[in-house]
Amino acid sequence: MVVVFAAFILMLIGALIMVLSAFRRVAGGEEGRQVEGGAVVVVGPLPIVIGTSQRVSKLLVVLAIALLLVSLATYLIFLRGATLWR
C-alpha cells in the first residue's frame, strides 16, 4: 500500500513540474530561444521515436535502449531470485 501511495505522489509531483514549467518565463529576455522536444513510444520491444531534431531523436534512442537494458536486467534478476526461493 505504501508503494502505491509513493507512486501516486511521484506522478503528482511530475505532473506539477510539467504544469509549472509550461508557465515559466524565459529568464534574461531571450525571446528567440528555440525549444526542442520529443517522445518515445515503446511497442513491445520496438521503440518509436518522435523528435523535433536529429539531436533530440538520437538522445531519445539512446535513452530508450538504456531503459530496455535496465528493464531486461531487472527482469532477469527477479527471475533468478524467484527460482532461488523455490
Question: C-alpha cell of 73?
Answer: 536486467
Tell me whether residue 63 is in a domain. yes
Residues 47 and 68 sit within 8 Å (Cβ to Cβ): yes
Tell me whether residue 77 is in a domain. yes
Instruction: State how many domains the chain has.
Output: 1
Provide the residue-wise pLDDT of the chain in tens; the chain has 86 residues.
Answer: 777 888 889 999 988 988 777 676 545 445 666 778 888 888 877 788 888 889 989 999 998 888 888 888 888 888 877 665 55
Question: CB-based contacts of 50: which residues, under 8 Å, 6+ apart?
Answer: 38, 39, 40, 41, 57
pTM above 0.75, yes or no: no
Tell me whether residue 20 is in a domain. yes
Tell me whether residue 58 is in a domain. yes
Tell me whether residue 31 is in a domain. no
Instruction: Show the domain range for 66.
Output: 2-25+37-84
Tell me whether residue 17 is in a domain. yes
Tell me whether residue 30 is in a domain. no
Integer CA distances (angstroms), 39 to 1, 12, 55, 63, 68, in order: 31, 20, 13, 11, 15
